[in-house]
Structure 1
């Protein structure tokens, strides 16, 4: 399989805040194809995809023509579930022809509690979700992407990147 003409990136929790800012840099400043992961707000994720497409097209019209345009798309996946992470990586690599060069693991979750009320803070479901999103999800996504990142590094030594950035979504 021939190497892609541009790098492919996956940004988890990429539809808003820091994740969206990272997606913009990867797509518009570095010219990468970008998959934006989201959990619940499809409209926001699709709006970002449209923004990336519009800005890229405007730059092309302004005379910065590239041979191939990057591909931008959004995929819904609940990163607190390992099976969803595997599906997200599989769909990302399938859409890129079997390539993945950069993973930004930007997911996190917490529920704001009244810390002075011990009873309010002892919710096992919340603790399990917090641990799953803030700890295990980063391991699972790295594991799911490992094969693709190794292949990327074999094509272009040292080019594959996995970056874990914990940004807690608060409820």
Structure 2
């Protein structure tokens, strides 16, 4: 029997990148997957591919900056499958700017999606996660622990997400729901290309750099993160709770010339 047979998962930001890879991975292991994101064409394609491979999936178009969305996602999963076992908070926005150029709107939009939406999705999901002794994985970033130049807003949001992960694990440690976070370094995804566009100020140069990253062994691949998510939502990780797990190929071990 597949390790996630009959489990139901909500994965935010699952129309591309890490979220998409996670949707495929959990479905491969038997989970029923609610795919969600802003792009209806991509989201419908992801759900259709899962169904075409014999899995179960539902796409719900959603913008997590809308405060009503977290509750709607939970209710969609419950209406479709009657239970909820897994929440993967993966959706994120980036902001790479010199300090003098950062605006109130930058802080507000990143906080709304990168931190607040995840909290309220968990809040809405908790009654059902308690019933199933479920698991939550927050896809954070190594930037929650170390800073990158001109990346302060994003780095701060990921630090907040890390602290929220441990706080939830602490508050709910006796209720059987587990909370963990993964802290990737650079991963070859559309989000990396968005960050490069902001960093370089040249869309074509950003695209070329992003394309090169797919073949760079120093850059992570979405499937590598998805495999770690699959472990954290499975019974194999039943004693893992409140963990912040770097997944970055040794990126933080030190500086090298190569």
Residues 47-88 of structure 1: per-residue CA shift (max 9 Å, x gap):
1111112222xxxxxxxxxxxxx4211101211222111111
Matched, 1:45 2:47: no
Structure 1, unmatched stretches of 5+, are: 57-69, 154-159
CA contact (8 A) 1:11 1:23 kept: yes
Matched, 1:78 2:63: yes
Matching residue of 1:101: 85
Describe the SS at the equivalent of 2:137: strand
Matching residue of 1:143: 123
Describe the SS at the equivalent of 1:109: coil
CA displacement at 1:161 relative to structure 2 = 0.8
Q: Which structure 2 residues correspond to residues 25-36 of structure 1 after superposition, within 5 A?
A: 25-28=25-28, 30-36=29-35
Distance change in 2, residues 1:48/1:16 (3 Å): same
CA contact (8 A) 2:34 2:59 kept: yes
> Take 2:113 and 2:17, find their aligned partners in 1: how far apart are those partners?
17
> Take 1:88 and 1:79, find their aligned partners in 2: how far apart are those partners?
10
> Take 1:77 and 1:144, find their aligned partners in 2: how far apart are those partners?
16
Aligned pair partner of 1:164 in 112, 116, 138: 138
Matching residue of 1:133: 113
Number of paired residues? 141
Structure 2, unmatched stretches of 5+, are: 142-153, 155-190, 199-258
> Take 2:79 and 2:62, find their aligned partners in 1: how far apart are those partners?
15
> Take 2:48 and 2:109, find their aligned partners in 1: how far apart are those partners?
31
Describe the SS at the equivalent of 1:82: coil
> Take 2:96 and 2:140, find their aligned partners in 1: how far apart are those partners?
16
Per residue, is there more helix in 1 or in 2? 2
**Structure 2-normalised TM-score?**
0.51
